[in-house]
Structure 1
């Protein structure tokens, strides 16, 4: 993983020029000072509790020793341009490691403050014992805290870069997972994609198709784990987006989802087991093709979806059912078609048919008589009744 150059937060202009004897005394105590600083950090910053043991403890201890060693090199120089690159780079990498460990930048800065205070106290004691005068000690203190400022700035930069980098990688993995789900990729590939994205599969997923302009508003009201593919998804209409909303699959979950989408023109597919999300997406697309307006719950339009599944087959069925009326005058055929449809849907209840068609009940009786003349016993045949209901619904 690449790193960007780290600009120091301050320019260290203080010259201390510690005597070699003082520097040697400090170097002899370097490991002790580093251990003391780390122990204080672990004690006072809750995020570092238990970090002293194991690999992370060694990383932190080495980083502190590197920083202190770099500082002593700086403090023994007679000019203000002593090289700081190794310590700065070490601080930068420490910041990246802390981000990967899940610790916040606030915890990192607290660790620097506490470590600086502990290190200064121990190093000042050694310096005073070695005979450093008051003026030199003051410059020494100034250099310590300016140096810590630079290291902490470098660590914050590393922490920020790591979060940005890992965030982009995870977002890309989430987008790939969404696409794999929507396109019906094999289960093993989808499970692997979920693992790479560090995404815990829910009990169910619901596909939602909506206008791109409404997507941001919808996402604010939905579960944060909602998946959003950004690549082209097969079948998605121009100017529309798709979402996969996690849920439990319980009866109460769907009303809550519909409430969250109020005010949008979203089409909501069925809730399905998460690995079957492509089925929810396909149904949402078919429902969107019906041209309904507002918030559309596909569960409320199953009959319309069934009838629209094969338009050519439905047209052929309609033509076959209405074939006996083809020899009649067009106006008569149209009236009898409307009467047949209403008679089927109202199960032969004459008053209900008359009310729907705005005609007298006797007119309905006359037309049904005409239909019986044309169709004969087929009006009592369950198979024909089913065909006619589907064709005319």
Structure 2
């Protein structure tokens, strides 16, 4: 409901001297004025040509007649009228008209044009009656001022209604989008997700890609990928509420688009999941959560698609720790510093398939040092190093550097 308060021009109504004969003559012309107004609007504001056809045209004519009738009632008896109460129905009608325009997806441009046309036509018709009644020129001028002030009041009410409806519908849609995002992350059924998308007015893409990043940078990044990007800033599963992070679910970032995506988030503490069918995007988010373990100390983004082997190895951290302890048991009796050097050498030897020079370059040591260390390792493991199973277990166990 708009805040009602007549324009300052209305305060001059007491200066108008309109006798009942003139008011009755003006009131008698209201049906004609309304008809002429609607006809003019239909011609001069093309977007209303179809809307005003048939029964809708009659409804608009009645609304115009009611508004002008309210105005004449107030002008005729200013000493008996509370201007706010008297004009309230017309102002409320204009307010609701503005809300209706917003609901129909139209801007205020057409409606404001209609008001301008309506003011001109209404005054043309009513001024003719005033002139025929030999009203003094000064009275006609004051009457004109009031007519246009009244139209301005209606325009302002419609603008207020339009803005309120946009704000309200925007908040409602955002709530639906938030619910859709939560349903996606919860892995709801396809029926639930489809209904949720329809309710939010969100056109489903083919895929969604999860991106976890600092909340302060989310809005800017989201704007790079279009208005249908979903944002989640609260109640993120698996993340403490105190963390200032946000999740984006970005539509249709294919393999050829991924380099550009990574360029956008470069220099941010972002983790990017894989592209998934939009109804399966919860798996992209789960990948992001696991990818946080790969986050470097600097502000670099992590592309989980580039760390699949490491993610697989880290999938069961307890099993990995047990495997590492088991396969490194032959080194357990050594001094920690010696054991650490041999583990480092063994890991490089496995990764470089036993090529001594490459191992030496990797460790920044002489090739003879590599030979010496590998002799120690073979003495400790014996012919177990010839077993494919042992090689597999060592490769998996040492694929990820220990975090201990």
Between the aligned partners of 2:374 and 2:170, the Cα distance in structure 1 is 69
2:172 maps to which residue? 169
Say if 2:280 is the partner of 1:280.
no
TM-score between both structures, scaled by the size of structure 2:
0.86
2:65 maps to which residue? 65
Asked whether the equivalents of residues 10 and 149 of structure 1 are also in contact (C-alpha less than 8 Å), the reply is: no
Deviation at 1:330, TM superposition (A): 5.3
In structure 2, list runs of 5 or more residues that go unmatched. 400-404
Mark the CA change 1:230 to 1:366 in structure 2 (over 3 Å): closer, same or farther. closer
Q: 1:248 aligns with which of 225, 249, 252?
A: 252
Mark the CA change 1:266 to 1:128 in structure 2 (over 3 Å): closer, same or farther. same
Deviation at 1:165, TM superposition (A): 1.6
Say if 2:148 is the partner of 1:142.
no
Between the aligned partners of 1:282 and 1:276, the Cα distance in structure 2 is 11
1:27 maps to which residue? 27
What is the DSSP-based 3-state SS (H/G/I as helix, E as strand, rest coil) of the residue aligned with 2:345?
A: helix
What is the DSSP-based 3-state SS (H/G/I as helix, E as strand, rest coil) of the residue aligned with 2:231?
A: coil
Mark the CA change 1:265 to 1:338 in structure 2 (over 3 Å): closer, same or farther. closer
Mark the CA change 1:245 to 1:260 in structure 2 (over 3 Å): closer, same or farther. farther
What is the DSSP-based 3-state SS (H/G/I as helix, E as strand, rest coil) of the residue aligned with 2:230?
A: coil
Query: 1:174-226: CA deviations, max 9, x gaps?
Result: 22222222232333222222222222222222212122333344344442322
Deviates more, 1:326-335 or 1:344-353: 326-335
Mark the CA change 1:159 to 1:250 in structure 2 (over 3 Å): closer, same or farther. same
Deviates more, 1:89-98 or 1:43-52: 43-52
Query: 1:292-350: CA deviations, max 9, x gaps?
Result: 23222222222222222211100111122122344556565444433322221111212
Between the aligned partners of 1:115 and 1:386, the Cα distance in structure 2 is 85
Deviates more, 1:236-245 or 1:341-350: 236-245
Between the aligned partners of 1:289 and 1:344, the Cα distance in structure 2 is 24
Between the aligned partners of 2:374 and 2:327, the Cα distance in structure 1 is 16
Mark the CA change 1:200 to 1:85 in structure 2 (over 3 Å): closer, same or farther. same
2:109 maps to which residue? 106
What is the DSSP-based 3-state SS (H/G/I as helix, E as strand, rest coil) of the residue aligned with 1:209?
A: strand
Between the aligned partners of 1:193 and 1:253, the Cα distance in structure 2 is 27
1:258 maps to which residue? 262
Between the aligned partners of 1:170 and 1:55, the Cα distance in structure 2 is 32
Q: 2:131 aligns with which of 114, 128, 131?
A: 128
Between the aligned partners of 1:328 and 1:239, the Cα distance in structure 2 is 42
Mark the CA change 1:266 to 1:58 in structure 2 (over 3 Å): closer, same or farther. farther
Query: How do residues 188-227 of structure 1 correspond to structure 2 at under 5 angstroms?
Result: 188-227=191-230
1:8 maps to which residue? 6
Between the aligned partners of 1:389 and 1:299, the Cα distance in structure 2 is 21
Q: 1:344 aligns with which of 336, 347, 350?
A: 350
Query: How do residues 349-368 of structure 1 correspond to structure 2 at under 5 angstroms?
Result: 349-368=355-374
